[in-house]
């Protein structure tokens, strides 16, 4: 077998499987803490996995910033820019609401928190409610440089859109600046291609460390919670997303998944929705989605379209309510949908942010937060599925929006011609 002919997606899959097997082997058969923890977990696997994640995250902010500017500046019709953005946001919000409702329905049926019978004697601390006004204001950066340094995606996107818009308006007067941004964007894309060559190594290390260090004694009492979340995300990925894709694009969703698998593997193994952004854009380019559309909607969707996180919040909320024997009426559930939607949109794309956001949601709706520590202990597993749903839903929405603007080349998608990438 010629190893060079194995595709990147297959190498990532192989790395995931091998990493999982090595992790389980270390968990069950290696007792020496020096070899298992000091040498492998805390050094070799930690270095290999975190180095790859840091390299990918290193590119996220400059890639998003430069690509947003170029995707906007290359649009000749201003009306297309506003309609693409508006339609994308509406689509993102609707899929988020659908995910929340599905999560609440399945959690009501499965009852993941039933049987814990915890006393609801805990005093719920005062919380700061995240209002719609706060969310809107947070989009506008007081200091664009500060937003770039902190990786605040929505302000970065807005700032990039404004610069791109000005480049359109000034045209020939800014041709030098346009060329500079174009060259910087090309440099970022080349860096992505270079870094992705070590993706299988990084993913192997991450999988081995996750399954080699996770404590099964902390997972077993909460398998029902994990199972409920995985069930809802499976319905999303295997039922809802394919239906949306097929209805709006008239294309075969199985082909989409086959082409997008490398990005899905990366999101799952890294438990990150931000790190796979460059790979997501690359895979959408390869399947015929307009580069300008994906460069705009993928970073935007990473901030607004967190379907997996929405599932976690919905199931997590009812899990806590059921554990404490608190009955949620219809009005309370409607309020919870609004709170979860706003929290999902405003949740930062940083590790473990969903756990802190869930704590905020519980406080807002008046539920105890005593189970947060327990949920935190298993979030590494949940986070992998959340990221998988987030990145897949984002790509589906991007494909649908691109198709609506005749920016999805079906000849490339159906392998009748090759993409120019």
| 124, 128, 133, 138 alpha-carbon torsion, rounded to 10° | -130
Q: Is the pLDDT of residue 297 over 60?
A: yes
Average pLDDT estimate for 288-309: 83
3-state secondary structure of 273: coil
**pLDDT of the residue at 4:** 67
Pick the CATH number of 3-413 from 1.10.3860.10, 1.10.3720.10, 1.10.2020.10, 3.40.50.1820: 1.10.3860.10
Q: Is the pLDDT of residue 9 over 70?
A: no
Average pLDDT estimate for 366-393: 81
3-state secondary structure of 190: helix
**pLDDT of the residue at 325:** 83
Q: Is the pLDDT of residue 61 over 60?
A: yes
| Rounded Cα–Cα distance for residues 90 and 92 (Å) | 5
| Rounded Cα–Cα distance for residues 180 and 196 (Å) | 25
Average pLDDT estimate for 344-370: 72
| Beta bridge partners of residue 408, listed in sequence order | 289
- DSSP H/E element including 230: helix 223-235
| Rounded Cα–Cα distance for residues 243 and 94 (Å) | 15
As a whole-number percent, the residues of the chain with pLDDT over 90 amount to 22
Q: Is the pLDDT of residue 107 over 80?
A: yes
Residues 6 or more apart in contact with residue 363 via CB below 8 angstroms = 124, 125, 126, 127, 369
Lowest average pLDDT, out of 17-21, 66-70, 114-118, 315-319, goes to 114-118
Lowest average pLDDT, out of 21-25, 105-109, 140-144, 148-152, goes to 148-152
| Rounded Cα–Cα distance for residues 164 and 299 (Å) | 15
Q: What is the mean pLDDT of the chain?
A: 80
Give the residue extent of every domain in the chain.
Answer: 3-413
Q: Is the pLDDT of residue 377 over 50?
A: yes
Confidence of residue 131 (pLDDT cuts 50, 70, 90): very low
Lowest average pLDDT, out of 241-250, 345-354, 387-396, goes to 345-354
Confidence of residue 98 (pLDDT cuts 50, 70, 90): very high
For the stretch 173-223, pLDDT in tens is 888 898 898 888 888 878 877 887 887 888 888 878 877 876 555 555 578
Residue 372, class by beta-carbon neighbours within 10 Å (0-12 exposed, 13-18 middle, 19+ buried)? middle
Q: Is the pLDDT of residue 127 over 50?
A: no
Cα separations in angstroms, 32 against 38, 44, 197, 217: 10, 16, 33, 19
Query: Whose structure tokens read 């993913």?
Result: 203
Is 210 or 403 the better-scoring residue by pLDDT? 403
Confidence of residue 118 (pLDDT cuts 50, 70, 90): low
Confidence of residue 256 (pLDDT cuts 50, 70, 90): very high
Burial 158-186 (b: 16+ CB within 10 A, else e): bbbbebbbebbeeeeebeeebeebeebbe
Q: What is the DSSP string of 324-390?
A: TTPPP-HHHHHHHHHHHHHHHHH--SSTTHHHHHHHHHHHHHT---TTHHHHHHHHHHHHHHHHHHH
Nearest to 223, CA basis, from 381, 356, 105: 381
């Amino acid at each position: 077998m010629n190893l060079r002919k194995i595709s990147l997606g297959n190498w990532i899959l192989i790395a995931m499987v091998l990493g999982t097997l090595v992790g389980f082997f270390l968990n069950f058969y290696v007792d020496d803490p020096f070899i298992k923890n000091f040498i492998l977990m805390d050094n070799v696997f930690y270095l290999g996995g975190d180095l790859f994640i840091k390299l990918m995250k290193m590119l996220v902010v400059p890639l998003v910033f430069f690509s947003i500017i170029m995707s906007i500046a290359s649009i000749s019709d201003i009306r297309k820019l506003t309609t693409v953005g508006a339609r994308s946001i509406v689509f993102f919000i609707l899929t988020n609401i659908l995910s929340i409702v599905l999560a609440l329905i399945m959690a009501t049926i499965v009852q993941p928190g039933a049987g814990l019978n915890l006393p609801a004697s805990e005093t719920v601390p005062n919380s700061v409610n995240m209002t719609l006004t706060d969310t809107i204001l947070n989009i506008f950066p007081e200091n664009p440089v500060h937003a770039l340094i902190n990786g605040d995606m929505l302000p970065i996107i807005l700032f990039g859109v404004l610069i791109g818009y000005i480049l359109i308006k000034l045209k020939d007067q800014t041709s030098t600046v346009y060329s500079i941004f174009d060259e910087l964007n090309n440099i970022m894309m080349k860096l992505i291609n270079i870094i992705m060559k070590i993706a299988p190594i990084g993913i192997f290390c991450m999988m081995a460390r996750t399954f080699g260090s996770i404590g099964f004694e902390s997972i077993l009492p909460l398998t029902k919670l994990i199972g409920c979340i995985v069930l809802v995300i499976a319905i999303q990925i295997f039922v809802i997303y394919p239906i949306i894709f097929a209805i709006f694009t008239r294309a075969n969703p199985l082909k989409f998944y086959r082409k997008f698998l490398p990005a899905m593997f990366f999101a799952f193994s890294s438990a990150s929705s931000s790190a796979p952004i460059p790979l997501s854009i690359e895979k959408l380019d390869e399947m015929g989605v307009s580069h300008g559309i994906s460069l705009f909607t993928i970073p935007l969707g990473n901030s607004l379209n967190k379907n997996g996180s929405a599932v976690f919040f919905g199931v997590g909320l009812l899990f806590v309510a059921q554990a404490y024997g608190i009955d949620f009426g219809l009005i309370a559930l409607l309020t919870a949908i609004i709170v979860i939607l706003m929290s999902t949109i405003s949740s930062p794309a940083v590790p473990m942010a969903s756990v802190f956001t869930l704590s905020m949601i519980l406080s807002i709706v008046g539920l105890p937060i005593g189970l947060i520590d327990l949920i935190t202990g298993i979030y590494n597993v949940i986070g992998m599925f959340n990221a998988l749903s987030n990145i897949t839903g984002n790509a589906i929405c991007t494909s649908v929006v691109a198709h609506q603007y005749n920016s999805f080349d079906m000849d490339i998608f159906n392998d009748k011609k090759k993409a120019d990438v």
